[in-house]
């Protein structure tokens, strides 16, 4: 079944925001994959979301900053660090579209513990670096205690206005980036947690270097051996998250 791409405008959160973050220097790498290959990774009540006859696997690398909780001032030492996550795209029995995270690498240990406890997210503590110079953006991560779970990505964001306008109108690019929540198995339920941010300012990008072990560590061995089917970049957005609501819980 082919899905229609979600809208670029986020729906209302439905409850008060509990967390605000800035995501900057964001690179999206995506691979097409048979939807059947991703069914075992889906939480109960969810299935792979599909567009153009494919499900998709993404590696998303970015800088997180300006994290604040319940409207408080941002806490730089707690919420300012690079992140690289491996994610899939889901749709549940209630029609909610979202993201399923297979892993999330972060360089600060306390946020790793908080995210695991509060949401059941599969955060991993890693040594990480993000560097921007000469028109290139480089991301490097290596998981503590699991050195093969590493990734090195270098991209050059493009400035071609025509190409960037085409990306903004591309339904697949919208499908892969305009996701307004995540599904996660947590304390016996599948939860759906909404987020909200302005539309992504997307740009095309050239992948200059890629050496990855995160996909294999997540159970997708061999996928990193071929070039991604989509490479996108964004200077960033500010996002807010609501707490998971009981009405959004699945079996």
pLDDT tens sequence across 9-33: 888 787 777 788 899 999 999 999 9
Alpha helix ranges (H) inside the chain:
35-38, 76-79, 109-119, 161-168, 171-177, 214-217
Nearest partner of 179 among 69, 244, 97, judged by Cα: 97
Provide the pLDDT confidence category of residue 113 given band limits of 50, 70 and 90: confident
Q: What is the dihedral of CA 51, 195, 99, 129, to 10 degrees?
A: 120
Asked whether the predicted pLDDT for residue 225 surpasses 70, the reply is yes
Provide the pLDDT confidence category of residue 4 given band limits of 50, 70 and 90: low
Q: What is the pLDDT of residue 66?
A: 78
3-class secondary structure, 241: strand
Of the candidate ranges 73-82, 176-185, 203-212, 213-222, the one whose mean pLDDT is the lowest: 73-82
Q: How large a percentage of the chain has pLDDT more than 70? A: 89
Looking at domain 17-240, which CATH architecture does it have? Beta Barrel (2.40)
Of the candidate ranges 70-74, 154-158, 234-238, the one whose mean pLDDT is the lowest: 70-74
- DSSP run (H or E) holding 55: strand 55-69
At 210, give phi and psi (nearest 5°).
-150, 120
Domain edges within the chain:
17-240
pLDDT tens sequence across 47-89: 999 999 999 999 999 999 877 765 666 666 666 889 999 999 9
Q: Are strands 146-157 and 181-186 parallel, antiparallel or unpaired?
A: unpaired
Adjacent-strand bridge partners of 65: 22
Provide the pLDDT confidence category of residue 1 given band limits of 50, 70 and 90: very low
pLDDT tens sequence across 176-186: 999 999 999 98
């Amino acid at each position: 079944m082919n899905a229609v791409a979600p809208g670029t405008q986020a729906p209302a959160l439905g409850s008060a925001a509990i967390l605000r973050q800035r995501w900057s220097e964001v690179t999206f790498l995506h691979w097409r994959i048979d939807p059947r290959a991703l069914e075992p990774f889906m939480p109960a009540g969810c299935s792979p979301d599909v567009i153009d006859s494919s499900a998709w696997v993404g590696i998303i690398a970015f800088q997180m900053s300006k994290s604040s909780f319940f409207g408080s001032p941002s806490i730089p030492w707690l919420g300012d660090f690079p992140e690289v996550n491996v994610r899939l795209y889901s749709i549940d029995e209630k029609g909610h579209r979202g993201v399923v995270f297979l892993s999330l690498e972060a360089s600060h240990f306390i946020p790793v513990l908080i995210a695991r406890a509060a949401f059941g997210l599969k955060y991993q503590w890693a040594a990480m670096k993000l560097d921007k110079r000469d028109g290139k953006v480089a991301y490097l991560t290596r998981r503590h205690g699991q050195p093969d779970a590493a990734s090195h990505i270098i991209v050059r964001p493009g400035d071609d206005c025509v190409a960037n306008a085409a990306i903004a109108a591309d339904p697949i690019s919208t499908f892969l980036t305009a996701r307004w929540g995540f599904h996660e198995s947590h304390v016996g339920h599948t939860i759906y947690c909404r987020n909200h941010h302005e539309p992504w300012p997307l740009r095309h990008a050239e992948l200059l270097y890629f050496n990855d072990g995160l996909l294999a560590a997540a159970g997708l061995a061999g996928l990193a051996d071929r070039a991604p089917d989509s490479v996108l970049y964004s200077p960033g957005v500010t996002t807010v998250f609501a707490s998971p609501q009981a009405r959004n819980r699945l079996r």
